[in-house]
Amino acid sequence: MKTDPQADPAHWACLDKDCADVARRARRYLDEISPLIPAAERDRTLPVEIIPGLLDAGFVRGAIPVRDGGLGLSHLQTALLMEEAGRCWASIRTTANILTLVAELLSAAGSTEQKQRFLRPLLAGERMGWFAITEPEAGSDAASLTTLAERLPTGSYRLTGRKAYITNASYGDFGVVLATVDPGLGARGVTAFLVEQGAGGYRVVARPQLSVRAASCCDVVLDGVVVPAENMLGDVGRGLSLAMRAVNGGRLNVSAGCTGIAQAALEAASAHAVSRTQFGKQLASFQLVQQLIADIAVQTNAARQVYQSAARLLDAGADARVECSMSKYFCSEAANQAATKAVQVYGAAGLMEGNVAERLFRDAREATIPEGTSQMQILQIGKALLGVSAVR
């Protein structure tokens, strides 16, 4: 794509100055660290020394109110950060999304003491958090989780169970764990606990994954870890509802990150089509190649309009849960289509490890699953439109 690398992208023209500044600052830092991507993807390890710089650029801090040590950015501004992260490196988007979720939960439900011990150091880059709700047999149906929180005579709780596919757990020093105080209560028994690295009784098992390879993905095995009463986050039985309070932000973040993946696919495919020669002329001059790239551009533009519309609704005070579900569904599917077409433009080269299109293809595939699969988004949208649940 023939653009001035120093110029703002055309789609920033519709943003106000504050929003454009947020995106510009993020892109500047992400471009600075982008040379680290090949080695980190190869080694499947995120260089955690980049995280303080992400915080300085507005990630994580942006979503938190000023009263709790954050920047108090709008939903649109934090979403723009995530689009830039997706465009650069989806492993960063995944890592930052979970850190943001943990920070939002602490801001919403943490006691003054918990905010001092966990939230403030997290926002300063001194602590790293993870969030554990998914289990081997409890994914979309989170209310059926079986990790047990048994209350002890001392008032502490003993946690026993296994959490699956937990981002950041390999290097995070604390996590928010959802467990049930009584399996018979269903969702009304699910409670949130802050589990610290120094507590005995839990271990982390690495789970290498197809996509976002540099992001930490682990199982967390809780084998009788004792959590003091003061580490309960919120009230007994309110863990699932607490997690659902952050669902809009999480889905919006994924939507914006997916748009970033689509944008990266557009840029990579366009650059390759212009530079590659076949049959004595530019690849870009072939009509079917132009169709592939035009399709990517249309999908990217549409995804951007969808997620920004949902963000503006949230900023206007609307519930926007349905719109965030629509956004997550549409943008994640659009990213997959865009990345697939970028691979097609590259041909065989796009299938090779180390090729940008190959990485985007893998990372886009991940996006249709976390924060609610595409299928769960469809069911939630359907329930909102028709008033009938297809789940319960």
Catalytically active residues are 371
Pair of tokens at residue 10: 């055309």
Closest Cα to residue 271, out of 287, 293, 291, 286? Answer: 293
**Cβ-based neighbours of 210, under 8 Å, separated by 6 or more:** 362, 365, 366
What is the C-alpha separation between 119 and 105, in angstroms, rounded?
9
Question: In this structure, what is the dihedral angle of CA atoms 300, 305, 311, 317, given to the nearest 10 degrees?
Answer: -170
What is the C-alpha separation between 84 and 97, in angstroms, rounded?
13
